[in-house]
């Protein structure tokens, strides 16, 4: 398997101390946004989006279903491919 397609499984959670940090299911640090040149509120909003990534990916994967609308299905498949780096 391509290592670029692997990621730490969710759920991920957001911690705000000592700065916006995303933690994995075992408490391991996934990403940190400390020292961002953005304002605090925008940095926290970005961190929330990053922390939601595994759940968002799962939601898109569930949308890829035979009963989905063609336009929705195409959009979901593109999002999944982008999330997986393909």
Kindly report, residue by residue over 18-57, the tens digit of the pLDDT. Answer: 788 999 999 999 988 877 788 888 888 888 889 889 888 8
Q: Are residues 57 and 85 in the same domain?
A: yes
Q: What are phi and psi of 10, to 5 degrees?
A: -80, 180
Q: Are residues 33 and 58 in the same domain?
A: no
31 DSSP assignment: E
Parent domain of 85: 53-86
What is the reported pTM? 0.70
Q: Are residues 38 and 70 in the same domain?
A: no
Q: Are residues 25 and 66 in the same domain?
A: no
Q: Are residues 31 and 65 in the same domain?
A: no
Q: Are residues 58 and 47 in the same domain?
A: no
């Amino acid at each position: 398997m391509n290592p670029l397609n692997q990621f730490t499984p969710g759920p991920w959670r957001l911690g705000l101390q000592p700065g916006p940090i995303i933690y994995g299911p075992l408490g391991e640090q996934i990403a940190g946004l400390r020292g961002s040149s953005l304002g605090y509120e925008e940095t926290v909003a970005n961190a929330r989006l990053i922390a939601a990534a595994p759940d968002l990916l799962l939601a898109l994967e569930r949308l890829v279903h035979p009963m989905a609308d063609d336009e929705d299905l195409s959009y979901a498949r593109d999002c999944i491919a982008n999330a997986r780096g393909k």
